[in-house]
Amino acid sequence: MRAAINQAKRGRNIGEVPIGCVIVYEGKIIGRGYNKRKKKKTTLAHAEIEAIAKAGKVIKDWRLEDCDIYITLEPCQMCAGAIVQARMRRCIIGCRNPKAGCAGSILNILQNDAFNHQVELTEGVLEEECSAMLTDFFKDLRARNAEIKKAGKTENEERQDL
């Protein structure tokens, strides 16, 4: 999770919502990713999708069986779906996303018996640190936006919702 947090920080350093992810296979990190949605201008650039793309190049198979994914934030519908589709073994999350999380908060896509694969789930790993990164990011963003407004400039619509 420490490596996933480092990825999240790389995102934060370029103004992205700090969410990071690594994929581990046989004790080695084979995929890393951080949120680049603004930079890449596509919703597909979530941390998990970036890491899954990289891991696939290492494993050379669309199936990432026996792989474990560490994510600083509970995955959205798309990313939880990708984790199931890739047949990953285990998902380890830092903090929950009560507004959009799909590892139990809104839905539990990872562990739905109706699908042909279920993913083991561990949560709350370095939870406070993962959560604080997001809280601080949005606090800074609000302060920046308030300053821009105060200065009478046109505010860039950030809409940093996850």
Footprint on this chain of its own copies (rule: CB under 8 A): 37-38, 40-46, 49, 52-53, 56-57, 60-64, 76-82, 84-86, 99-100, 102, 106-107, 109, 112, 114-116, 161
Nearest distance, CB of residue 36 and its own copies, angstroms: 10
| Other beta carbons within 10 Å of 128 | 11
CA separation for the pair 146, 152 (Å, rounded): 10
Q: Nearer to its own copies by C-beta: 2 or 99?
A: 99
CA separation for the pair 69, 99 (Å, rounded): 21
Q: Nearer to its own copies by C-beta: 112 or 131?
A: 112
Nearest distance, CB of residue 86 and its own copies, angstroms: 5
Crossing angle of helices 47-59 and 77-85, rounded to 10°: 10
Catalytic positions: 48
Alpha carbons within 13 A on the beta-carbon side of 127:
8
Nearest distance, CB of residue 75 and its own copies, angstroms: 9
